[in-house]
Chain A
Amino acid sequence: MIKPFAITLKPGTSLSNLTGTWRTERPVYLDRLPPCNNACPAGENIQGWLYHAESGDYEQAWRMLVEENPFPAVMGRVCYHPCEDQCNRGKLDSPVGINSVERFLGDEAIRRGWKFSEPPDSSGKKVLIVGAGPSGLSAAYHLARMGHGVEIQEAGPMAGGMMRFGIPKYRLPRDVLDAEVKRILDLGVRLRLNSRVENISASMQGFDAAFLAVGAHIAKRAFIPAGDAAHVVDAVSLLHSMEGEERPMLGRRVVVYGGGNTAIDVARTARRLGATDAIIVYRRTREKMPAHDFEVEEALQEGVMIKWLSAIRQADEGQLTVEKMVLDDKGMPQPTGEFEKMEADTLVLALGQDVDLTLLEGVPNLEIRNGTVQVSGNMMTGFPGLFAGGDMVMSERSVTVAAGHGKKAARHIDAYLRGAAYEPHSKHELADFGKLNTWYYSDADKTVRPMLDIIRRQTSFDEVQGGLNESNALFEARRCMSCGNCFECDNCYGVCPDNAVIKLGPGKRFKFNYDYCKGCGLCAAECPCGAIKMVPEEI
């Protein structure tokens, strides 16, 4: 066709007009740090594994998860999920049920028998780990996966630490714990049970490094004058004895003194052991209580009673003397001089635990503060090659923190063994709520996990909280907004009036075509998750 001059044009010829020259700002893709990832004490790439879970690829999700933490089934039950507290979705409707998806993945892995990938060839190095709690096991796992020889020496008869001898079964069924521990041991980790380390300097001989994770097991005592016949026990020993053959005898009325999660666990255990009354006595108020809200709530549902603003002053047979307290302006409890009597067959003291540091005697250059071992940023104590983590160092005491310490220590030990220093990745900018365009997320409330019926909760040690099934796990995973990281929603590709966004194909994300991008900023404004930023063009 000899088309008329000028007035008829060839199609698509405007490509020769490079409108990129109009730009004063350019869009760039970036990855931001999602707040959940930022909040995870174990450093999990939560958003990363949710990404796979969203597409129903649970194995991939699980594999990504266990890159950081070998205990998803445990975490999915006992972790206090600070990630969810930080989840941006909480500002929209309710946080993503990260923890429940994690549990689903953990359970799925157990059910399907997924194994860790084989560790690489041995490095020839040997690391001693003291204590088979979450911290020790986590360190063992990571070191083993780096090819190092690992031996755990554990004082107790079974692995798990407080996960086994503290956390009650109704929150963490032991078959779940066993399965996840076994999977670690299957990596070739040597576990020596009933092997208390008395002196670390001696035990470390023959090892290239050691990681201490002995926890905090010495019950704190409060001075309470007690009559000879008074039945007073400490929480840790009580819970520990739950793992034995014989059930402890507590009586009809059990009083627990303390306000932490341990106190709650003890009271709930007492109910299950047949106590008609399980009463927590706490010196301050509910707001001040260190125990997590949801645990208090569950305890109350099960009939546990809590006596606020009360201090136990005297324990006698079958009876306690309690003083009423008031809070001063600093929120500290102050005595009032008002006393009352309380019936109690058993008094359980749940006042916290101290670390048993005897095995460290004679180790040079150690710093002990507030009864904990001081470690530097790389988890190493003052003594070269001796690392420590978990409850025995100064930090929040939780399974997740302990596991995180284990991982962190492992990375530094690995570097130490190679005579190098471990450089963590620099953190991306935080993907805070303001970076999101939440219009694009449809309204979807969090899935509530099923709970065991109340009668069985009061009479058995069956697991209280159920898990998600595949369909609601998928739903929950898909509630993730992928804060700060492109999830291939195609918005930028769609909204650019200049077709200046190139779609690279599934999994490959997008690229800007700066030849035509006019820098209008629509792509950045309409990216739901804040994965695009406008930067001034150098003119």
Chain B
Amino acid sequence: MGFQPIKFYQTGTYTVGNRLLSPDQRSVQAAESRSNSINSGHRACQGCGEALGARYAIDAAMAESHNRLIAVNATGCLEVFSTPYPESSWQVPWIHSVFGNAPAVATGIAAAMKVKGKTDVRVVAQGGDGGTTDIGFGCLSGMFERNDDVLYICYDNQAYMNTGVQRSSATPPAARTATTMPVGPEPGNPFGQGKNLPEIAMAHGIPYVATATVADLRDLEYKVRRAMRMRGARYIHLFVPCPLGWGTASHDTIRIARLAKESGLFPVFEAEHGEVRSVLKIRRKVRVEEYLMPQKRFAHLFGSHPHPEMVIRIQEIADRNIRKYGLLDEEEAA
């Protein structure tokens, strides 16, 4: 059983809170008492999806663990903008070791907590898509395979942002990055097979895998809280637009995330022990153009020398996701 929307018609489950909801139905983010795990004064770009996603996720984890939480961070934007000496934005115990080892560091902490009998203290590891799908992948897979008691959260902004927007294995086809420039016959990132980390995580048979976006806070909080109620290795893949790297307006971060989901390009679902348990249906389906066009990293697909054939291929990816995960309600899909 997936995420249960609250029957409330003014704004439904979509807003962060609402004065009319009973407090137990409100999101963590709606509370004055939320932990603000990453506090003001951090140096993320304006409208940074990763900064937002991290607070959403870690605050929810804090709430679920009754503030008994330790966070590990891989190298990347989140780490850099939150802890440049002499100031830290974190309000939770936090450690950054290196780029590729966050899952293992977390394992070590979890082991320490276990051996000390502090099983109430929970461990979250987090990293960017590069830190997760590329350089940290070995450690992540090991952590999954051992089923260590760690919740790993990947903030997927689809490139190595901290080093200046280079391609990662999570960069989508056609996207412009500093290492996949929009030149030549197939501009931007080549169409590959992709590296679907949530599915790879599922293949480990770990207790919980979920995807989410910063556009759907309640779904995200539900997933974090659910993950936190379980033991063992858990993985949440969180889609976080990056205004700088994607060439989007800073106020569009959430809209872009919403369009990624509504177009089917980013399927939002949860899985337990390798089986998909629920999907967040597309509510107002859009074509991929609507998602692609506001982003400068896809500008070369449109403009004066457009590449409609590439847009079609991207639409095919979306359609495949829709079929594969059943993202549309029956009637609409028919």
Asked whether any CB of A lies within 8 Å of a CB of B in the complex, the reply is yes
Q: State in angstroms the CA–CA spacing of A525 and B252 once bound together.
A: 7
A479 neighbours in B (Cβ, 8 Å) = 9-10
Q: How large is the interface on B (under 10, 10 to 19, 20 to 34, 35 or more residues)?
A: 35 or more
Does B47 reach chain A (CB closer than 8 Å)? yes
- Determine if A494 and B252 form an interchain contact, defined as CB atoms under 8 angstroms apart: no
Known contacts A12-B88, A513-B40, A441 near B10 by CB under 8 Å: yes
Q: Which of A287-295, A401-409, A415-423, A514-522 is the contact stretch?
A: A514-522
In the complex, are the beta carbons of A478 and B10 less than 8 A apart?
Answer: yes
Task: State A441–B283 Cα separation when bound (angstroms).
Answer: 12
Q: How many A-B residue pairs have CB under 8 A?
A: 176
Docked CA distance A479–B11 (Å): 8
Whether A503 lies near B15 (C-beta < 8 A) is no
Q: Does B163 contact A (CB under 8 A)?
A: no
The answer to whether B16 touches A495 (Cβ under 8 A) is yes
Of B5, B41, B51, which contacts A16 at CB under 8 A?
B41
User: A526–B250 Cα gap in the complex (Å)?
Assistant: 12
Stretch in B79-87, B189-197, B225-233 touching the partner: B79-87
Provided the pairs A55-B19, A520-B250, A521-B251 are in contact, do residues A6 and B39 lie with their beta carbons within 8 angstroms? no
State whether the Cβ of B36 lies closer than 8 Å to any Cβ in chain A. yes
Q: With A17-B43, A55-B20 given, is the CB distance from A489 to B86 under 8 Å?
A: no
Per the bound structure, the CA–CA distance linking A55 and B89 in Å amounts to 38
Residues of B within 8 A of A469 (CB): none
Name B264-280 residues within 8 Å CB distance of A.
none
The contact of B41 among A10, A14, A526, by CB within 8 Å, is A14
Give A435-477 as 1s and 0s: 1 = Cβ < 8 Å from B's Cβ atoms: 0000111111000000000000000000000000000000100
Contact indicator per residue, chain B 32-61, by CB within 8 Å of chain A (1) or not (0): 100010111111101111011001000000
Stretch binding the partner chain, chosen from B101-109, B153-161, B253-261: B253-261
Residues facing B in A498-532 (CB within 8 A) are 498-500, 503, 505-507, 513, 515-516, 518-522, 524-526, 528
Task: Check if B235 is an interface residue, CB within 8 A of chain A.
Answer: no
Contact B19 A487 (CB under 8 A): yes
A439: B residues at CB distance < 8 A: 14, 258, 284
Q: Does B302 contact A (CB under 8 A)?
A: no
A11: B residues at CB distance < 8 A: 88, 90-92, 94
Q: Assuming the A-B contacts A439-B258, A478-B9, A513-B40, are A489 and B87 also in contact, with contact meaning beta carbons closer than 8 angstroms in the complex?
A: no
Q: How far is the CB of A124 from chain B (nearest CB, A)?
A: 44
In the assembly, what is the distance between CA of A494 and CA of B5, in Å?
18
Contacts of B83 in A (CB 8 A): 9
Docked Cα-Cα span, A499 to B36, in Å, equals: 7
**Option from A14, A19, A505 in Cβ contact (under 8 Å) with B32:** A505
Which residues of A (109-167) have their CB < 8 Å from a CB of B? none
A539 located at the interface, meaning its Cβ lies under 8 Å from any Cβ of chain B in the complex: no
Residues of B within 8 Å of A518, CB to CB, are 46-47, 250
Chain B residues closer than 8 Å to A15, beta-carbon distance? 39-41, 87
Asked if A354 lies at the interface with its beta carbon under 8 angstroms from chain B, I say no
B contact residues around A524 at 8 Å (CB): 251
Q: Is B74 an interface residue (CB 8 A)?
A: no
Task: Give bound CA distance, A10 to B41, whole Å.
Answer: 14
The proximity string for B residues 1-29 relative to A, scoring 1 for CB distances below 8 Å and 0 otherwise, is 00001001111111111111000001101
Is B217 interfacial (CB-CB < 8 Å)?
yes
Q: Which residues of chain A are near B90, meaning CB under 8 Å?
A: 11-12
The reply on B317 being an interface residue by CB < 8 A is no
Q: Which of A442, A488, A505 has a CB less than 8 Å from the CB of B9?
A: A442
For A519, list chain B residues within 8 Å (CB).
46
Contact of A10 among B18, B19, B88 (CB under 8 A): B88
Q: Does chain A have a CB within 8 A of B30?
A: yes
Provide the residues of chain A in CB contact with B92, threshold 8 Å.
Answer: 11
Evaluate contact between B17 and A442: CB separation under 8 angstroms: no
Whole-angstrom distance between the alpha carbons of A505 and B31 in the complex?
Answer: 10
A14 contacts B40, CB within 8 Å?
yes
A6, B85: Cβ atoms under 8 Å?
A: yes
Contact of B14 among A441, A507, A513 (CB under 8 A): A441
The answer to whether A521 touches B47 (Cβ under 8 A) is yes
Complex Cα gap A22–B18 (Å): 30
Q: How distant is B95 from chain A, measured CB to nearest CB, in Å?
A: 9
| Known contacts A13-B87, A15-B40: A522-B18 contact under CB 8 Å | no
B250 and A522 contact, CB distance less than 8 A: yes
> Which of B16, B46, B47, B82 sits near A490, CB closer than 8 Å?
B16
Also in contact, A494 and B29, with CB within 8 A (given A9-B87, A478-B9, A521-B250): yes
Q: Is B249 an interface residue (CB 8 A)?
A: yes
CB atoms of B41 and A17 under 8 A apart: yes
Q: A12-B91, A19-B43, A520-B47 are in contact. Are A442 and B86 (CB under 8 A)?
A: no
Shortest beta-carbon distance from A192 to chain B in Å: 47
Q: Which listed residue, B26, B38, B40, B82, touches A500 by the CB 8 Å rule? A: B40
- Nearest A residue to B30 via CB reads A490
For B281-294 the 0/1 string (1 means CB < 8 A from A) is 00010000000000
B255 CB to closest chain A CB (Å) equals: 7
- Check B217–A494 contact: CB distance below 8 A: yes
Pair A498/B51 contact, Cβ less than 8 Å: yes
Chain A hits for B49, CB < 8 A: 497
The CA-CA distance from A489 to B218 in the complex, in Å, is 13
Q: Measured between alpha carbons, how far is A11 from B37 in the docked complex, in Å? A: 10
Q: Which residues from chain A contact B250 at a C-beta distance below 8 Å?
A: 518, 520-522
Decide if A475 touches B9 in the complex (CB within 8 Å): yes
Contacts of A54 in B (CB 8 A): 10, 20
Residues of chain B from 208 to 259 with CB closer than 8 A to chain A in the complex: 217, 243, 249-255, 258
Q: Is the CB of B253 within 8 A of A522?
A: yes
Q: Which residues of chain B are within 8 angstroms of A62 by Cβ–Cβ distance?
A: none
A495 & B9 in contact (Cβ 8 Å cutoff): no
Q: How far is the CB of B212 from the nearest CB of chain A, in Å?
A: 15
Q: Whole-angstrom distance between the alpha carbons of A353 and B243 in the complex? A: 64
Whether B19 and A506, one on each chain, are in contact in the complex, defined by CB atoms closer than 8 angstroms, is: yes
Interface on A for B, CB 8 Å cutoff? 6-7, 9-19, 22, 54-55, 439-444, 475, 478-482, 487-491, 493-500, 503, 505-507, 513, 515-516, 518-522, 524-526, 528, 534
In the A-B complex, list the 4 residue pairs whose CB atoms are closest, starting with the nearest.
A442-B12, A494-B16, A490-B17, A521-B251
Beyond the given A499-B55, A518-B46, A525-B254, could you list 12 further A-B residue pairs with CB under 8 A, ordered by the A residue number?
Answer: A11-B94, A13-B41, A14-B87, A19-B43, A22-B46, A442-B13, A481-B10, A496-B52, A497-B48, A497-B52, A520-B46, A525-B251
Of the A-B pairs whose beta carbons lie under 8 Å apart in the complex, a sample of 11, sorted by A's number, is A9-B86, A13-B41, A14-B43, A14-B87, A14-B88, A14-B89, A18-B41, A19-B42, A439-B14, A442-B9, A528-B15
